[in-house]
Amino acid sequence: MARLFLGLDSSTQSLTAVVIDADARTTVAEVSLAFDATLPAYGTRNGVLRGDDPTVVHAPPLMWAAALDRILERLPREGVDVASILAVAVSGQQHGSVYLNASAPAALAAPDPAKGLADSLSGILARATAPIWMDSSTSAECAEITRAMGGPAALAQATGSAAFERFTGPQIRKFFKTEPTAYARTAHIALVSSFVPSILAGRIAPIDPGDGAGMNLMDIASKRWHPGALAATAPGLDAKLPPIADSWSVVGPVAPYFVRRHGLSPKALVLAGSGDNPCSVVGLGLVEPGMVAISLGTSDTYFGTMPACRVSAEGEGHVFGSPAGGYMSLVCFKNGSLARERVRDALGLDWAGFAAAIRDTPPGLDGKSLLLPWFEPEITPRVLTPGVRVRGLAETDRARCRAVVEAQMMSMRIHTGWMGVRPGRIYATGGASANREILQVMADVHGCPVFRFETTASAALGAALRAFHGWSAAAGAPVPWPDVVRGLAEPVAASRVDPAPGVAPVYEARVRAYAAFERESAAG
């Protein structure tokens, strides 16, 4: 009998299932259900509910429960032998919070297979909707928590991130302040990534250090709740939060509901859930310290792995627990493809022309020209007033193509230096990773090989791989991470781009000059 493992990614717009065969090293099925189209009764648009205040963005938790029934009904139709699934792990959109009343544990234990999950669980909510990561209505609460914790740097040192509107702690504080009675009625607070496993296991599931770090509530060094942060957020919070447990811990076997209604094995295990970015780190094969992925999308995002906990002194980026052990960083650079497109369009080029312009110019340019790519306000480094700053480059100079990409790569090197780990290899994903010249600059500036990584559903795949890993550990024969991901989360063969010989000293000097130009520009 095949050994199958199920990963579920409950994301903003859809629920995605990936089933892997651990022995054949193949993906057996990948199914995605869009919430709007599949469950129109919940009235979401792009998976969310909005009201008059554009900063408030919520979603209906019962829709996520209903989607679980739907996707488990789909799997047999996709040819999956669901009885062969040995374990399931969940990935969830990060930060979103679900508020449950005291009836939740009993209701979760025994949904009625005849009624389905949404109807069976309709009485468990202490708050009808869940604020999600797109909600930005908690600036006042961020300021209050930051003040109580001794400032942004202190909060980042304690919890891995400065306060952000979408983080769960500020969201909980707002709920406590605006709806104190409903807050008092709340017996359990779950994240999306612990709510879905709670349903699957029929009991309140723990929160893992991957998603727990997205709350401004977890002590990042010890991976336990931070008493000071809890006190700064809302009274009585300790009693409402589940414990924090390792990402690979077992919550329990699937609830009898899933055996009776969906034909799962009563022995199938449910693992602790994690956030979608932590799960993507596994789905991108970043299972050893020093492995880095850079996603070149609308924005550029740097995912790093590190063996020990380190937090940026400036509060740059986020530090989360990695579900593969140790820690991961998530650092967002807003001026990614956006900036590359602006330079390309101003010069009237297509992507082939942009690539040729990079090829035709020397690494480091002339040693003098520099460009700061802040077309839009920048997240890393924090730049509130946008504006491109240029040194030694005319408006019509095709060297601007190289200048913008070098700037982005040097900025990434500078603003991830706090991790204390130089990358040993980088996996490049996202639309712009199709451009080999961009990957060459990446390899040259970072001084390590770059590989192209094609992703589909990396969070759901990461969850499926976590299910395999956690199950093997629970069975007493833990499979090492490199073997867990082998053949399933690997870069495109033959896509390796090595640093050009001799360029390392050029960029050592350029990086210092860029950092100085950045400091001067930010100060001025």
Q: Is 133 in the site for ligand XUL (CB under 6 A)?
A: yes
Q: Which residues contact 519 (CB under 8 A, 6 or more apart)?
A: none
SS3 463: helix
CB of 401 to ligand ADP, least distance (A): 10
Task: Return the range that interacts with ligand ADP (CB under 6 A); candidates 134-142, 149-157, 176-184, 425-433.
Answer: 425-433
SS3 391: strand
CB of 73 to ligand ADP, least distance (A): 29
C-alpha 485: how far from chain center: 18
User: Of 383, 313, 386, nearest to 523 (Cα)?
Assistant: 383
CB closer to ligand XUL, 12 vs 380: 12
Between CA 52 and CA 55 the distance in angstroms is 9
CB closer to ligand XUL, 120 vs 171: 171
- Choosing among ligand XUL, ligand ADP, none, which partner's interface includes residue 351 (Cβ < 5 to 8 Å by kind)? ligand ADP
> Checking DSSP bridges between strand 300-306 and strand 188-191, what pairing results, if any?
unpaired
Residue selected from 34, 83, 434, 479 as contacting ligand ADP according to rule CB under 6 A: 434
Total binding residues toward ligand XUL, as defined by CB under 6 A: 11
Q: Which residues contact 263 (CB under 8 A, 6 or more apart)?
A: 76, 82, 83
Residue selected from 5, 7, 10, 11 as contacting ligand XUL according to rule CB under 6 A: 11
Task: Return the range that interacts with ligand ADP (CB under 6 A); candidates 27-35, 88-96, 337-345, 472-480.
Answer: 337-345
Question: What letter would DSSP give residue 478?
Answer: P
CB of 218 to ligand XUL, least distance (A): 14
Q: Is 455 in the site for ligand ADP (CB under 6 A)?
A: no
CB of 331 to ligand XUL, least distance (A): 11
- Choosing among ligand XUL, ligand ADP, none, which partner's interface includes residue 276 (Cβ < 5 to 8 Å by kind)? ligand XUL
| Per-residue x/- track, 76-105, ligand XUL (CB under 6 A) | -----------------xxx----------
Residue pair 309/234 in contact by the 8 Å Cβ criterion: no
Q: Is 12 in the site for ligand XUL (CB under 6 A)?
A: yes
- Quote the longest CA-to-CA distance of the chain: 72
C-alpha 369: how far from chain center: 35
Task: Return the range that interacts with ligand ADP (CB under 6 A); candidates 151-159, 317-325, 432-440, 494-502.
Answer: 432-440
- Choosing among ligand XUL, ligand ADP, none, which partner's interface includes residue 93 (Cβ < 5 to 8 Å by kind)? ligand XUL
Q: Is 274 in the site for ligand XUL (CB under 6 A)?
A: no
Q: Is 430 in the site for ligand ADP (CB under 6 A)?
A: yes
Residue pair 375/338 in contact by the 8 Å Cβ criterion: yes
SS3 38: helix
Residue pair 117/111 in contact by the 8 Å Cβ criterion: yes
Between CA 340 and CA 354 the distance in angstroms is 9
- Choosing among ligand XUL, ligand ADP, none, which partner's interface includes residue 133 (Cβ < 5 to 8 Å by kind)? ligand XUL
CB of 255 to ligand ADP, least distance (A): 35
The amino acid present at 504, given as its one-letter code, is A
Between CA 264 and CA 84 the distance in angstroms is 8
Start-to-end CA span in the chain (Å): 67
Length of the chain: 524
Binding site for ligand XUL (CB under 6 A): 11-12, 93-95, 133, 166, 214, 275-277
Binding site for ligand ADP (CB under 6 A): 297-298, 337, 340-341, 351, 430-432, 434-435
